[in-house]
Amino acid sequence: MKTADRTEEPANALDVRGLRLRLPGTARPVLDGVDLTVAPRETVALVGESGSGKTLTSRTALGLLPPGATAEGRVLVDGEDVLTMGPDRLRALRTGRAAMVFQDPRAAVNPLRRIGDFLTEGVRLGGRTDAAEADRRAVELLDAVGLGPELLRRYPGQLSGGMLQRVMIAAALMGDPALLLADEPTTALDVTSQAEVIALLDRLRERFGTGLLFVTHDLGLAAAISDRVHVMYAGRIVESGPAEELFRRPRHPYTAALLAATPRLDAPPGRLAAIDGQPPDLRLELTGCAFAARCRYATELCREQAPAAHPVACHHPLEGSRADA
């Protein structure tokens, strides 16, 4: 694969190369060489458990680094490196080319402001559009997410969680972004409204040509909606591949173990194949594969030498059909 040069061919919506993020008080990087691309009109899922670094990765694309963090590598959004941007450029990026939909819509909106204010605030402060134009766009986007213009006058408290999340999606699209980051956008919603939000994201991505990075802990959901899936563990991407393939035939033992540990509808009742132990502590140095301590296939090699990243970060990838780790 060629690296995206600013001048050559249409740039990827997101292009992360060798991202390494260090936090104060940790013995190893919290993100350790993350490579990731999202093309326009593509849905890419980033799957992992809490502490795997999936949320950090997506926030880095907006230049939202935790305090005291130092980053290496490149994070290109629409062809431009976020890590070298100044505050003004970053602000322009966040109101324009990249936007984020958060997990809990209630926590991400000021309850005292009307929906209309909330939607138009970003573009109006960006100074590129006047109030009338902003209102027109807000109505257009509310329509696109299946909501009527009368909502502009309502307050967040008067809307259900599902409706509010659709408003959040409309708000994210106000600046016509090239990249949409969705961090667990359906986790706080009911199971049946989840489908609605997903269907909507999918339609809008197609219509506006946006690249979508979908961050989730749910492998089933990731497989259901995305073109490609990256599985993260302890700050590294351990396996990447087409969604269907990865779900049916996981090659990294962690992916397989995660699938086996998920309570599923099509599995017989009874004990689950739980993964023993816990993810490695950030205060400890890591030698070798981060999953080695919990992996049933681990050998001396795994504990001593970190495996290469692509496409499966494992010394002994699983072969054959659906491995039950």
Contact positions toward another protein, by CB under 8 A? 49-50, 161, 190-196, 198-199, 202, 217-221, 223-225, 243-244, 247-248, 257-258, 261-265, 267, 269-276, 278
Beta carbon of residue 173, minimum distance to another protein (angstroms, whole number)? 18
Between 158 and 278, CB nearer to another protein = 278
Pairing between strand 211-216 and 179-183? parallel
Q: Which of 191, 192, 190, 185 is nearest to 167 (CA)?
A: 185
Beta carbon of residue 48, minimum distance to another protein (angstroms, whole number)? 9
Angle made by CA atoms 243, 246, 250, in degrees to the nearest 5: 170
State how far the Cα of 55 lies from the Cα of 53, in Å rounded to an integer. Answer: 6
Between 220 and 311, CB nearer to another protein = 220
**Helix (H, G, I), strand (E, B), or coil: what is residue 228?**
strand
Q: In what order do the strands lie in the sheet with 31-38?
A: 31-38, 14-22, 70-77, 80-81
Beta carbon of residue 264, minimum distance to another protein (angstroms, whole number)? 5
Between 85 and 261, CB nearer to another protein = 261
Beta carbon of residue 204, minimum distance to another protein (angstroms, whole number)? 13
Alpha-carbon dihedral sign for residues 228, 28, 30, 1: negative
Beta carbon of residue 33, minimum distance to another protein (angstroms, whole number)? 23
Q: What length is written for the chain?
A: 325
Beta carbon of residue 85, minimum distance to another protein (angstroms, whole number)? 28
State how far the Cα of 123 lies from the Cα of 78, in Å rounded to an integer. Answer: 19
Between 123 and 258, CB nearer to another protein = 258
Between 75 and 325, CB nearer to another protein = 325
* Residue pair 68/47 in contact by the 8 Å Cβ criterion: no
DSSP label at residue 279: P
Beta carbon of residue 40, minimum distance to another protein (angstroms, whole number)? 21
State how far the Cα of 238 lies from the Cα of 302, in Å rounded to an integer. Answer: 13
| Cα→Cα distances 255→35, 49, 80, 245, Å | 18, 11, 32, 12
* Residue pair 178/210 in contact by the 8 Å Cβ criterion: yes
Between 108 and 224, CB nearer to another protein = 224
State how far the Cα of 160 lies from the Cα of 167, in Å rounded to an integer. Answer: 11
Between 98 and 200, CB nearer to another protein = 200
Beta carbon of residue 278, minimum distance to another protein (angstroms, whole number)? 6
Q: Which residues contact 124 (CB under 8 A, 6 or more apart)?
A: 130, 131, 134
Beta carbon of residue 75, minimum distance to another protein (angstroms, whole number)? 26
Between 26 and 193, CB nearer to another protein = 193
State how far the Cα of 265 lies from the Cα of 244, in Å rounded to an integer. Answer: 18
Between 49 and 176, CB nearer to another protein = 49
What torsion, rounded to 10 degrees, do the Cα atoms 224, 182, 69, 2 define? 60
